[in-house]
Structure 1
Amino acid sequence: MLASLIAGLASGETKLAIRRARQAAIVYLVAAAGALCGVGFLIGAVYIWASYRYGALEAAIGIGVAFLLLSGLVLVVHSIISRAQARRAKDRRASDLTAVAVASALAALPTLLRRKGGLGVAVAPAIALVAYAIYRENRSPKAKKEDLDRD
């Protein structure tokens, strides 16, 4: 990986990649500016149409309310998605931590078994983990909710 990075720097490939990225960014910015102008004119056209049909004040109020509702909808959707992502991240962290703990225990197991009294040292944490798993499985639903509220 490092060798390919150094080779890319030496050959000028990185400079070309940066130039392509800069050109793409400029093109996307120009396209976004054009799209924003188009949306602005469409909103203006909707206002003109609504003002002919319902009156200027009613059209302005209606379009304002529509944008407020749209903003509220965006915030609600963002909140729901953020909570779901945070929950998935928490579950992923717990899963990763469990995997690391298991891998560490398996890596340390041969060393512990070679020592004098190693079997007791190796089995005691395993028994503690099983006891904790049984405890978590059998505790009341109210205790589970309180634990989640603390996190």
Structure 2
Amino acid sequence: MLARFLALLASGEIGFLKRRVKTAVIGYGAAALAALAGAVFLVYAGFLVTAEQVGPTVAALYFGVGFVLLAIAIIIVFKIVAAMQRRAQRRRLAADRSAMAGASAMAMLPVLISRKGGMSVALVALAGLAGFAAYRAMQNPDDDHDD
């Protein structure tokens, strides 16, 4: 998408892109307002039907409690999703750190081997990395108690 934007910028068609974006924003904004108005009228119609059956005060209480419960449910869902995203990000960061450590160890391997007695140092380092990898593989990945 960035390449397309840069190509439009280079070819001088940025005015055309600006008009397209402006038209899209106006169209989608109008559609969103119409949808919001429709939703408001549907809720109001439901309120009127409920008010005819149980009275206006009780209907207002029902709708008020219903919207408060809906807000609480939305907040709970967002907190659950945020916690899941934090855990996934921690896992990605841990994987990135492991990959970076492995890459740096492999980059240092030729330097260690080129020195006198370096082969034994390199083998010890590789054995340590293999042991650490085995240790990480044996750990239960669901033990995230630092929430």
TM-score normalised by L of structure 2:
0.78
**Percentage of identical aligned residues:** 39
Query: Aligned-pair distance for 1:50?
Result: 0.8
Q: Which moved more, 1:125-134 or 1:43-52?
A: 125-134
Q: Structure 1 residues 35 and 129, CA, compared in 2 at 3 Å: closer, same or farther? A: same
Q: 8 Å contact 1:9–1:15 — kept in the other structure?
A: no
Q: Structure 1 residues 104 and 5, CA, compared in 2 at 3 Å: closer, same or farther? A: farther
1:1-20 aligned at under 5 Å gives the runs 7-20=7-20
1:1-151 aligned at under 5 Å gives the runs 7-132=7-132, 148-150=144-146
In terms of fraction of residues, the more helix-rich structure is: 1
Query: Aligned-pair distance for 1:73?
Result: 0.9
In 1, Cα distance between equivalents of 2:146 and 2:81: 21
Query: Aligned-pair distance for 1:135?
Result: 5.9
Q: Which moved more, 1:38-47 or 1:126-135?
A: 126-135
Greater relative contact order (CA < 8 Å, ≥ 6 in sequence): 2
| Aligned pairs, number | 145
Q: Which runs of 5+ in 1 are unaligned?
A: none
In 2, Cα distance between equivalents of 1:68 and 1:62: 10
Q: Deviations over 1:85-142 (max 9, x none)?
A: 1111111111122112212222332233223333244334334444545666788x9x
In 2, Cα distance between equivalents of 1:105 and 1:59: 69
TM-score normalised by L of structure 1:
0.77
Q: Which moved more, 1:120-129 or 1:94-103?
A: 120-129
Q: Which runs of 5+ in 2 are unaligned?
A: none
Q: Structure 1 residues 34 and 106, CA, compared in 2 at 3 Å: closer, same or farther? A: same
